[in-house]
Amino acid sequence: MLAPISFLLLVTLSPPQDVMARDRPNDNGKEISVFWSPSGDTGVTSYRILRQTEGQQSWDTVGMVGRLARSYADTDVEDGVRYRYVVLAASETETAESEPSDYAVSTPQWFDTDRIPALFGVAIFTFLIVLATNLARRNRNLFIRRISGLDAVEEALGRATEMGRPILYVPGLSSIADVATIASLNILGEVAKKTAKFGTPLMVPLRDPIVYTVAREVVKESYTTAGRPDAFSQDMVFFVTTQQFAYAAACNGIMVRDRPATNFFIGMFWAESLILAETGATTGAIQIAGSDAIHQLPFFITACDYTLIGEELYAASAYLSREPLLLGSIKGQDYSKIVILTVIVLGTMLALLANVQVLDWFRSIR
Amino acid sequence: MKRRIPLILVLVLGIFAAIAFVVPHPSVRGVDDVMRNDVLRIIGAFSLVLGVGSIIRHHYMKIKRKAEHWPYSWVTLSTLVVSAILGLFGGIDPNAPGVLFRAGGVGQFLSNFHMQTLYDNIMVPLAATMFALLAFFMASAAYRAFRARNLEATLLLVAAFVLMLGAVPLGRMLIKPLPAFAEWILTVPNTAAKRGIMFGVGLGTIATSLKIILGIERGWLGGGGS
């Protein structure tokens, strides 16, 4: 008697419905998304996804997902080949198979439509930057608000020169692919020009070997531009290690042993930010920090004399060099911020008004 | 020419990267991936040689000049040499011994000092020690921050006090709405300030990239804006 009962149980589990297979949009191919409506039974524990290639008889299991899943991404497909899918609902004791989906073909796309808003935003921003840069060509007296951390650079360098002590410049721990590192190297160029002018010893320990080669060239070129190529020494810019805390220990050692009069911590930092900044503070050095790492900024603000916050890091090289074209780009950023703020304010007002009865009047006049 | 070639390379590759952002087709994205991963790795490998050269030169010069604390340079150089020998000829771990450890005698003894063993027993504890020091640095930084020297420091002190008190049961016991107020500080003014900074960072990142691609910013070439 048991056999007919278990047979009855096998056919009672309802299968998943409306199984659809589609090429994943906006991708580089090799992926088909499978969607389904869940089985109505609460006893379903998982779904198994089976695939059949056109022209073949066999069905292969390509994946298994939990009972709450409603889709599956099959990333093991060939572009241009037609596949169809079946979803199998499984409980502890039985399974139920859906109807097969229609055939789907994976193809790579030439344009990612999901990125149109980002492209549109960047286009507007680029236009504003180019516009402001062109305006800067005509009007060379652009007003840029004072950034105290950058105003202090000259004073800090002068102090180091008077004391006859070196300057330590740490351009962050990130790679050259990080824009904060490039911004830091731009500032290093300006700082190096000033140290060349004052004849102040400069020390630039580095963590990334690529950043090391770029930083060395930046400092070398800056000394040449400042008319002091003879004052440049290969020893100024040196590679230390790729290990995060070993690098922090090395920088701490430099601060404690060589007692630099000024420490620059500008770039991308992680957990070592406070270790560096606190050690520098105990040595009595003037400290100028700058980072776009939001979580490290409070540490720098606490332990350093001046901190470049976020965008100030990117404005620094323009501010220090006073190049009209670079200053123009800062103006461009300001115009963009006005656009963003206007959109935020308008969006907030509309979101607030959405729940207000007065909008019914607008709806009524349609 | 020395400056023009890097500028042209940056312009071409920068525009290509921007195109690859919106074109997912493998013919474009594939090249982009190769540039970002393989080419960068190859450049990294070459620059690592320069980096090692820099370490050797830096410490050799210190020893040669008998600069202050020069004995430490011996420690660095000898560690570098030992690590390089173990890494090159000793294999990574006991499961994959190199030439050095396949021999008997001294090689057998040295097999206790595989690269991975050294890393696990020296580098990891040292890094953990440095990380642990953060707790002490945090305490001293907190002391420095909480001295109400000016308005900003006072605000910081008050906000931190409210947040800390709101996070412990005592705060709720003393003032019932304190945890909710602490949460509000964290989620509203704090998030607003963070987002403001993030907007600036985002715009600054795009602006810096644009300036570099268009050749307006040449500081990375050491030549400023000239």
Q: What is the pLDDT of residue A5?
A: 42
pLDDT band at A161 (very low <50, low <70, confident <90, very high): very high
Q: Compute CA distances A228 → A192, A213, A233, A327, B34, whole Å.
A: 11, 20, 11, 27, 40
Q: What is the pLDDT of residue B68?
A: 86
Q: Which residue has the tokens 């991936």?
A: B33
A27, A125, A220 member nearest B222 (Cβ): A220
Q: Enumerate the residues of chain B whose CB falls inside 8 A of the CB of residue A192.
A: 222
Query: Shortest CA distance to A112 belongs to which of B15, B206, B202, B19?
Result: B19
Query: Shortest CA distance to A183 belongs to which of B2, B33, B7, B210?
Result: B210
A216, A239, A294 member nearest B197 (Cβ): A294
For the cut 70, the answer to whether the pLDDT of residue A358 exceeds it is no
Q: What is the ipTM of this complex?
A: 0.90
- Which H or E element spans position A245? helix A244-258
Asked, colleague to colleague, whether A2-105 and A146-326 share their fold, the answer is no
- Which residue of B lies nearest to A244 if distances are taken between CA atoms? B127
Q: Enumerate the residues of chain B whose CB falls inside 8 A of the CB of residue A240.
A: 55
Which residues fall within 8 angstroms of residue A183, CB to CB, at 6 or more apart? A266, A267, A313, A314, A316, A317, B204, B208
For the cut 80, the answer to whether the pLDDT of residue A333 exceeds it is yes
pLDDT digits (tens, 9 = 90+) for A76-104: 999 999 999 999 999 999 999 999 999 99
Q: Do A64 and A48 meet the contact criterion of CB atoms below 8 Å apart? A: yes
What SS3 state is found at A205?
strand
For the cut 50, the answer to whether the pLDDT of residue A6 exceeds it is no
Q: Enumerate the residues of chain A whose CB falls inside 8 A of the CB of residue B211.
A: 129, 326, 329
pLDDT digits (tens, 9 = 90+) for A228-251: 999 999 899 999 999 999 999 999
CATH class for domain A146-326?
alpha beta
A224, A309, A314 member nearest B207 (Cβ): A314
> In terms of CATH, what superfamily is A2-105?
Immunoglobulins (2.60.40.10)
| DSSP H helical ranges for B90-188 | 99-102, 106-110, 115-118, 124-145, 151-166, 169-174, 178-187
Averaged pLDDT score across all residues of chain A: 91
Could you give the CA distance from residue A10 to residue A25 in angstroms, rounded to a whole number?
37
Q: What is the pLDDT of residue A362?
A: 67
Q: Is B137 close to A111, i.e. CB distance below 8 A?
A: no
Gap from B94 CA to chain A (nearest CA, Å): 23
Averaged pLDDT score across all residues of chain B: 87
For the cut 50, the answer to whether the pLDDT of residue A9 exceeds it is no
Q: Is A249 close to B224, i.e. CB distance below 8 A?
A: no
Chain A / chain B CB contacts < 8 angstroms: 223
For the cut 90, the answer to whether the pLDDT of residue B116 exceeds it is no
Q: Enumerate the residues of chain A whose CB falls inside 8 A of the CB of residue B14.
A: none
pLDDT digits (tens, 9 = 90+) for B145-195: 777 677 877 888 888 889 999 999 999 999 999 999 999 999 999 999 999
Q: Which one is predicted more confidently, A365 or B141?
A: B141
B36, B137, B223 member nearest A274 (Cβ): B137
A303 touches chain B (CB under 8 A): yes
Q: Is A108 close to B24, i.e. CB distance below 8 A?
A: yes
A271 touches chain B (CB under 8 A): yes
Q: What is the pLDDT of residue B31?
A: 94
Could you give the CA distance from residue B141 to residue A251 in angstroms, rounded to a whole number?
18
Return the domain boundaries, chain A. 2-105, 146-326
Q: Enumerate the residues of chain A whose CB falls inside 8 A of the CB of residue B222.
A: 189, 192, 217-222, 224-225
Gap from A224 CA to chain B (nearest CA, Å): 9
Q: Enumerate the residues of chain A whose CB falls inside 8 A of the CB of residue B201.
A: 292, 294, 310-311, 314
Which residues fall within 8 angstroms of residue A259, CB to CB, at 6 or more apart? A165, A283, A285
Q: Is A329 close to B21, i.e. CB distance below 8 A?
A: no
